[in-house]
């Protein structure tokens, strides 16, 4: 903001004074008032008052960021009060890199804003989920895990194995979005791991003023390497002069209901067993004669048909059971697996106080979140305290500070992956005869692990494969707590009118403690540091993460002449971060049941595992922006970063960017076109390596001795670079009633720092190399329209469309296939040259030259080897459409979120169809009989296809027992599903009390909102699951096993302002 005060004598000047206010009557401080054609001017003061010397006939120009500029001629009166109208988008200002506000029109790169209100409408424990469908180019993949991590990726995956998440910045300070999940949780499907979420989820949406997404590398060259994946800039609410006390209270309650289309729908004809109509024979009632007993050992539903016959079932074995030694009818359970889920309730309450004074402003807020989950015994509580303020110490010096303390406690996150996953149990290995209510009753009354899958019919027998699901939730649960502090302190000094200097220190530090436990008497599974098979145990992980940033910036803003403006930054950033973790566990089980402490270990305590990593980056950067007559802008930036994680010779490198924007509409005088801008940019961003990757260290084994590590590090590492180009056009028509923004981009990431899998005959599994190139190109379109706008009613439409195509251009020399993840079920996610990043490999059907499936002599399909490409995890395109209708004090909006394309492999179907849980293995066949009848009784089916010699297959396979469906008969490609969806993501209806009703009360604002979230999956192709489910955030997506169902959430919110 430039004001050069020059006194010019002018004849017949008089003193003009007045007040400048906005359209609600609130005084506006800092409004620029200039005598047109001169550089004489002033600013309105804190109460909106101003005085200026001007002559009749001169015109005063009133301008203020966010408001329409007004020009008013000086008339006879000496008093000129002005009301400013809230801004057209022309003067829209956005917060860009380093917290610098820029007029959007001057930016040569693509950005998109989301208002804080939009994010705060629907309360979740991870605000990043609220960004889905709202920003073109931003792909949000939530994983449906309770409190789980969300994958936030802008413009595709650029790094083969590194972090591809966007950088989160709060008020100019980068914060950690670390996902501390065990790497095995993310890249494999081994069970007994938990998704601990990503750290950015701590941010409270109620404290967010706005979010600006900087999409390409050019938008972020000033942040250095981490911003190469794009930046999500969060601006928190600041204090401002309030009407009334400045108090806002927000209270929200949200309730969820399981969306049945995302959970299993079982067949209702057959119960426990693998062997068709055969029951088990055992003497249960002790009379020496064998009785008919349900196949309690079998964790499948490929057993006898439900004919209501009285037999002994699992509930007849234990004396504590009401049905001890009693026969019960063999029927489909009235309380199936879906009754296991509870109703999740989320309560969010917050209070904030903000006010502005003459020399500063402040804001304080406290928010409490209480969320209970779908699974029994799950809970997340979060406290969020914020204090932010700024103060003008003198007319040159301003100080501001921000302190945010967040305490999160979580209990009972769901186990992800294959083993020991309750939801996986329900979807893959379950007996349809099990009454879940009975499981609850017996657990609740005895607190013992009496399950539906005991190892024998003896009383007190422990389960063989699966615990009582309530036992799993109430006894073998995890809990974690995180205590986090984000703070910064900034001093800004105005050296001269055209330059100011900012110094800032910021820190983001948290302690996290994770505890996992298994109770004595559980089914043994791999657990603890040694991952040996054990029934009980306790594990504890203590993690500390700290990031500190020191910034010193010189900010220039001058006008070289009347039409040429120059702004620039010269700065340095020093960043230090640290990661420490300590893991301890018991081994061999617990000595004292129910006591979860490390000393309670039956075997000697295994070696603790310690990790300590430090990293530092020293950066120097400069940027210059030239503006020509507010029509053409030219920006250049250059940054030099020195990484501690690279070898000394290669540790520092430069990366530049250039961008230009041309507001061509200002040169045209077409009425219909209110705004038009062309923009182009080029940027190069470099990236260093993760810590400790230069030299090899040995591994101290948890069992015996030491070993050479499996990955060979590389002391000659070089930085990796992403080069990107972007071109875009933004236009608005008919007084901003319609507008669009189109961007096309191409980015290439080269010299990737990659741990490449290598032939293990080298004695290693992986080698760290600089190699590989990934290309991403695509386009984004966002559309805004206000088809109807009257005084009382408006209808706004906003749409986003994203298409990103990635391609692995090359891999390190000698590597033909790069395995990103290997999952249970024989499926791999690979990066292959010429293919998009993240393709699914597994076995496929064998096809003959006519494209027909080939069947073997036994009537079962032939299957290829495990190395066929069977799916592509990347979507073809993404789209989100929001409609907002406003009528007087009412506002209604809904968002439809669409993904087209992408593929997921469902382990649930791979196993569940084989174990006879679903209708795929229970239907009426071509002869009009149940397919599970024996061949003699007209059952079975014929696989459509041909034999190897080309003749049609006529062999009827006998499906009366396990073995003809699911993994037992079909290749993995059969279980790869299209992940497309159309979802009614969000809908909300709000009512703001008109001010006339509030005038007599102490309230200055009152608003009621009703919201719905994930209301309706209008279309999807993944059976019995939500296509967005997954294991974790991270680079391996496209795999579903035992993920939680999606809930339809309904919420009610009251916001009151005083």
Residues 465 to 504: which contact another protein by CB under 8 A?
Answer: 465, 491, 493, 495, 501, 503
Out of 259, 535, 897, 908, which residue is the one contacting another protein (CB under 8 A)?
Answer: 535
Question: Least distance to another protein from the beta carbon of 761, Å?
Answer: 4
Q: Which lies closer to another protein via its Cβ, residue 863 or residue 985?
A: 863
Task: Specify the pairing of strand 976-978 against strand 981-992.
Answer: unpaired
Segments in 401-535 forming alpha helices (H): 422-428, 436-446, 469-475
Strand ranges inside 155-289, DSSP E: 167-170, 173-175, 193-194, 208-214, 231-236, 247-258, 280-282
The answer to whether 145 and 210 are in contact (CB under 8 A) is no
Find the binding residues for another protein in span 290-349 (CB under 8 A). 297-298
Residue 761 interacting with another protein (CB under 8 A): yes
Residue 704 interacting with another protein (CB under 8 A): yes
In the numeric block, the tokens 């236009």 are attached to 731
The answer to whether 430 and 917 are in contact (CB under 8 A) is yes
Residue 700 interacting with another protein (CB under 8 A): yes
Task: Specify the pairing of strand 111-115 against strand 208-214.
Answer: antiparallel
Of 131-139, 562-570, 755-763, 787-795, the segment contacting another protein by CB under 8 A is 755-763
Find the binding residues for another protein in span 838-867 (CB under 8 A). 843, 865-867
Q: Which lies closer to another protein via its Cβ, residue 552 or residue 788?
A: 552
Question: From residue 768 to residue 807, what is the string marking binding to another protein with x (rule CB under 8 A)?
Answer: ----------------------------------------
The answer to whether 427 and 908 are in contact (CB under 8 A) is yes
Question: Least distance to another protein from the beta carbon of 361, Å?
Answer: 23
Residue 935 interacting with another protein (CB under 8 A): no
Residue 268 interacting with another protein (CB under 8 A): no
Question: Least distance to another protein from the beta carbon of 980, Å?
Answer: 29
Question: Least distance to another protein from the beta carbon of 505, Å?
Answer: 8
Q: Which lies closer to another protein via its Cβ, residue 614 or residue 746?
A: 614
Question: Least distance to another protein from the beta carbon of 530, Å?
Answer: 4
The helix (H) or strand (E) run that includes residue 510 is strand 499-518
Q: Which lies closer to another protein via its Cβ, residue 525 or residue 565?
A: 525
Q: Which lies closer to another protein via its Cβ, residue 207 or residue 844?
A: 844
Taking the C-alpha atoms of residue 443 and residue 953, their distance in angstroms, rounded to an integer, is 51
Out of 257, 628, 764, 795, which residue is the one contacting another protein (CB under 8 A)?
Answer: 764
Residue 533 interacting with another protein (CB under 8 A): yes
Residue 913 interacting with another protein (CB under 8 A): no
Q: Which lies closer to another protein via its Cβ, residue 396 or residue 888?
A: 396
Q: Which lies closer to another protein via its Cβ, residue 692 or residue 978?
A: 692
CA distance readout (Å), 358 to 42, 393, 445, 489, 994: 17, 11, 65, 21, 29
Segments in 429-512 forming alpha helices (H): 436-446, 469-475
Taking the C-alpha atoms of residue 151 and residue 201, their distance in angstroms, rounded to an integer, is 11
Question: Least distance to another protein from the beta carbon of 488, Å?
Answer: 14
484 contact partners, CB below 8 Å, separation of at least 6: 199, 202, 405, 406, 407, 408, 508, 509, 510, 511
Residue 588 interacting with another protein (CB under 8 A): yes
Q: Tell me how crowded residue 99 is: count the other CB atoms within 10 A of its CB.
A: 19
Taking the C-alpha atoms of residue 1041 and residue 424, their distance in angstroms, rounded to an integer, is 6
Instruction: Tell me if residue 373 falls in helix, strand or coil.
Output: coil
Q: What is the CA radius of gyration of the chain?
A: 32
The answer to whether 801 and 782 are in contact (CB under 8 A) is yes
The helix (H) or strand (E) run that includes residue 184 is helix 183-187
Of 217-225, 352-360, 721-729, 814-822, the segment contacting another protein by CB under 8 A is 814-822
Size of the site for another protein (CB under 8 A): 89
Question: Least distance to another protein from the beta carbon of 138, Å?
Answer: 33
Tokens of 254: 């949200």
Q: Which lies closer to another protein via its Cβ, residue 313 or residue 748?
A: 313
292 contact partners, CB below 8 Å, separation of at least 6: 279, 280, 281, 309, 311, 312
Of 400-408, 636-644, 727-735, 791-799, the segment contacting another protein by CB under 8 A is 636-644
Q: Which lies closer to another protein via its Cβ, residue 695 or residue 1000?
A: 695
Q: Which lies closer to another protein via its Cβ, residue 623 or residue 714?
A: 714
Q: Which lies closer to another protein via its Cβ, residue 77 or residue 533?
A: 533
Question: Least distance to another protein from the beta carbon of 231, Å?
Answer: 23
Question: Least distance to another protein from the beta carbon of 493, Å?
Answer: 6
Q: Is the dihedral of CA 852, 853, 858, 863 positive or negative?
A: positive
Find the binding residues for another protein in span 640-659 (CB under 8 A). 642-645, 648, 651
Most distant CA atoms of the chain, gap in Å = 123
Residue 273 interacting with another protein (CB under 8 A): no
Question: Least distance to another protein from the beta carbon of 961, Å?
Answer: 9
Residue 277 interacting with another protein (CB under 8 A): no
Question: From residue 963 to residue 992, what is the string marking binding to another protein with x (rule CB under 8 A)?
Answer: x---x-------------------------
Out of 255, 574, 731, 738, which residue is the one contacting another protein (CB under 8 A)?
Answer: 574
Burial of residue 420 (CB within 10 Å: 0-12, 13-18, 19+) is buried
Of 90-98, 196-204, 237-245, 704-712, the segment contacting another protein by CB under 8 A is 704-712
Residue 833 interacting with another protein (CB under 8 A): no
The per-residue b/e assignment along 1007-1038, b for 16 or more CB within 10 angstroms, e otherwise, is bebebbbbbebeebebbbbbbbbbbbbbbbbb
Find the binding residues for another protein in span 90-109 (CB under 8 A). none
Question: Least distance to another protein from the beta carbon of 497, Å?
Answer: 14
Q: Which lies closer to another protein via its Cβ, residue 31 or residue 846?
A: 846
Find the binding residues for another protein in span 667-696 (CB under 8 A). 691-692, 694-696
What are the respective helix, strand and coil percentages of the chain, to the nearest 5?
10, 50, 40
Question: From residue 607 to residue 626, what is the string marking binding to another protein with x (rule CB under 8 A)?
Answer: ---xxxxxxx-x--------
Find the binding residues for another protein in span 431-460 (CB under 8 A). 455-456
Question: Least distance to another protein from the beta carbon of 419, Å?
Answer: 11
Out of 710, 792, 1001, 1021, which residue is the one contacting another protein (CB under 8 A)?
Answer: 710
CA atoms within 13 A on the CB side of 684: 12
Out of 187, 665, 712, 1029, which residue is the one contacting another protein (CB under 8 A)?
Answer: 712
Q: Which lies closer to another protein via its Cβ, residue 813 or residue 949?
A: 813
Q: Which lies closer to another protein via its Cβ, residue 102 or residue 540?
A: 540
Tokens of 66: 């966010």
Question: Least distance to another protein from the beta carbon of 222, Å?
Answer: 17
Please count the residues of the chain.
Answer: 1058
Strand ranges inside 708-772, DSSP E: 711-712, 720-733, 738-750, 753-757, 766-770
Segments in 907-948 forming alpha helices (H): 907-912
The answer to whether 33 and 43 are in contact (CB under 8 A) is yes
Out of 460, 524, 636, 901, which residue is the one contacting another protein (CB under 8 A)?
Answer: 524
Question: Least distance to another protein from the beta carbon of 531, Å?
Answer: 9
Of 220, 277, 226, the C-alpha closest to 98 is 220
């Amino acid at each position: 903001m430039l004001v050069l005060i020059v006194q010019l004598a002018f004849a017949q000047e008089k003193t003009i004074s007045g007040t400048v206010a906005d359209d609600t009557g609130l005084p506006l401080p800092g409004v620029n008032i200039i005598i047109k054609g001169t550089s004489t001017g002033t600013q309105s003061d804190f109460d909106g008052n101003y005085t200026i010397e001007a002559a009749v006939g001169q015109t005063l120009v009133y301008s203020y960021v966010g408001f329409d500029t007004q020009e008013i001629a000086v008339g006879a009166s000496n008093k000129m009060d002005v009301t400013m109208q809230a801004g057209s988008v022309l003067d829209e200002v956005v917060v860009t890199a380093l917290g610098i506000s820029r007029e959007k029109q001057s930016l040569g790169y693509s950005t998109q804003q989301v208002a804080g209100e939009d994010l705060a409408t629907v309360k979740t424990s991870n605000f990043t989920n609220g960004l889905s469908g709202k920003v073109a180019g931003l792909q949000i993949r939530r994983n449906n895990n309770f409190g789980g991590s969300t994958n936030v990726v802008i413009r595709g995956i650029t790094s083969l194995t590194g972090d591809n998440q966007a950088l989160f910045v709060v008020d100019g300070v980068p914060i950690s979005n670390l996902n501390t999940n065990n790497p095995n949780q993310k890249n494999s499907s081994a069970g007994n791991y938990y998704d601990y979420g990503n750290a950015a989820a701590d941010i409270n949406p109620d404290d967010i003023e706005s979010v600006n997404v900087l999409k390409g590398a050019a938008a972020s060259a000033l942040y250095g390497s981490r911003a190469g994946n794009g930046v999500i800039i969060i601006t928190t609410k600041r204090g401002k002069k309030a009407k009334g006390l400045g108090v806002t209270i927000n209270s929200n309650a949200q309730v969820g209901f399981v969306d049945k289309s995302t959970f299993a729908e079982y067949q209702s004809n057959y119960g426990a067993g693998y062997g068709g109509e055969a029951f088990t024979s055992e003497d249960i009632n002790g009379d020496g004669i064998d009785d008919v007993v349900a196949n309690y050992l079998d964790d499948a539903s490929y057993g006898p048909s439900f004919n209501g016959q009285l037999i002994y079932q699992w509930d007849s074995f234990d004396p504590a059971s009401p049905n001890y030694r009693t026969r019960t009818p063999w029927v489909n359970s009235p309380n199936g697996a879906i009754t296991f889920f509870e109703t999740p309730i989320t309560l969010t309450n917050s209070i904030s106080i903000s006010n502005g004074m003459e020399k500063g402003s402040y804001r304080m807020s406290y928010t409490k979140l209480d969320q209970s989950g779908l699974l029994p015994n799950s809970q997340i509580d979060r406290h969020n305290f914020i204090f932010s303020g700024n103060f003008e110490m003198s007319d040159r010096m301003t100080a501001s500070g921000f302190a945010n303390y967040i305490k999160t406690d979580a209990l009972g996150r769901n186990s992800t992956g294959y083993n020991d996953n309750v939801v996986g149990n329900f979807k893959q290995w379950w007996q349809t005869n099990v009454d879940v209510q009975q499981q609850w009753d017996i657990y609740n009354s005895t607190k013992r692990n009496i399950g539906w899958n005991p190892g024998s019919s003896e009383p007190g027998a422990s389960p063989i494969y699966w615990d009582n699901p309530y036992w799993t939730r109430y006894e073998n649960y995890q809990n974690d707590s995180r205590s986090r502090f984000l703070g910064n302190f900034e001093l800004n000094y105005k050296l001269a009118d055209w330059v100011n200097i900012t110094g800032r220190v910021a820190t983001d530090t948290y302690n996290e403690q994770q505890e996992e436990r298994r109770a004595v008497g559980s089914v043994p599974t791999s657990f603890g540091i040694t991952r040996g098979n054990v029934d009980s145990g306790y594990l504890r992980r203590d993690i500390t993460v700290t990031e500190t940033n020191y910034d010193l910036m010189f900010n220039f803003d001058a006008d070289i002449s009347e039409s040429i403006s120059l702004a620039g930054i010269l700065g340095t950033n020093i960043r230090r971060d640290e990661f420490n973790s300590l893991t301890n566990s018991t081994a061999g089980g617990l000595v004292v049941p129910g006591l979860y402490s490390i000393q309670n270990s039956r075997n000697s305590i295994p070696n603790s595992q310690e990790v300590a990593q430090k990293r530092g980056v020293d950066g120097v950067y400069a940027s210059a922006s030239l503006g020509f007559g507010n029509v053409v802008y030219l920006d250049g930036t250059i940054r030099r970063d020195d990484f501690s994680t690279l070898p000394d010779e290669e540790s520092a490198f430069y990366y530049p960017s250039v961008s230009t924007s041309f507001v061509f509409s200002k040169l045209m005088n077409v009425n219909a076109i209110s705004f038009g801008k062309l923009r182009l940019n080029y940027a190069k961003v470099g990236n260093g390596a993760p810590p400790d990757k230069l030299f090899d260290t040995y591994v101290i084994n948890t069992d015996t001795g030491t070993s050479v590590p499996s990955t060979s590090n590389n002391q000659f590492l070089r930085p990796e670079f992403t080069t990107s180009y972007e071109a875009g056009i933004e236009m608005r028509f008919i007084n901003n009633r319609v507008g669009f923004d189109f961007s096309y981009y191409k980015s290439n990431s080269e010299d990737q720092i990659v741990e490449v899998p290598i032939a293990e005959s080298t004695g290693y599994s992986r080698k760290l190399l600089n190699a590989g190139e990934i290309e991403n190109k695509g386009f984004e379109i966002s559309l805004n329209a206000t088809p109807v706008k009257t005084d009382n009613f408006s209808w706004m439409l906003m749409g986003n469309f994203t298409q990103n195509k990635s391609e692995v251009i090359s891999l390190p020399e000698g590597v033909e296939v790069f395995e990103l993840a290997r999952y249970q079920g024989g499926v791999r996610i690979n990066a292959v040259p010429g293919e998009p990043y993240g393709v699914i490999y597994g076995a496929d059907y064998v096809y003959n030259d006519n494209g027909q499936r080939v069947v073997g002599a036994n009537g079962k399909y032939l299957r290829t080897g495990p190395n066929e490409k069977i799916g592509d995890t990347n979507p073809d395109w993404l789209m989100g459409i929001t409609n907002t209708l406003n009528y007087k004090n009412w506002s209604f909006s809904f968002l439809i979120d669409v993904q087209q394309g992408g593929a997921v492999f469902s382990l649930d179907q791979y196993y569940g169809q084989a174990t006879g849980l679903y209708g795929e293995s229970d239907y009426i066949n071509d002869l009009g009989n149940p397919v599970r009848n024996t061949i003699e009784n007209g059952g079975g089916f014929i696989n459509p296809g041909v034999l190897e010699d080309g003749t049609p297959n006529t062999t009827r396979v006998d499906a009366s027992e396990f073995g003809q469906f699911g993994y037992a008969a079909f290749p993995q490609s059969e279980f790869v599903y299209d992940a497309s969806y159309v979802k009614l993501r969000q809908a909300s209806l709000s009512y703001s009390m008109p001010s006339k009703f509030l005038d007599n009360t102490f309230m200055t604002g009152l608003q009621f909102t009703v919201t719905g979230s994930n209301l309706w999956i209008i279309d999807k192709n993944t059976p019995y699951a939500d296509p967005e489910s997954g294991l974790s955030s991270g680079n391996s997506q496209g795999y579903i096993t035992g993920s939680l169902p999606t809930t339809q959430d309904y919420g009610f919110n009251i916001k009151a302002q005083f």
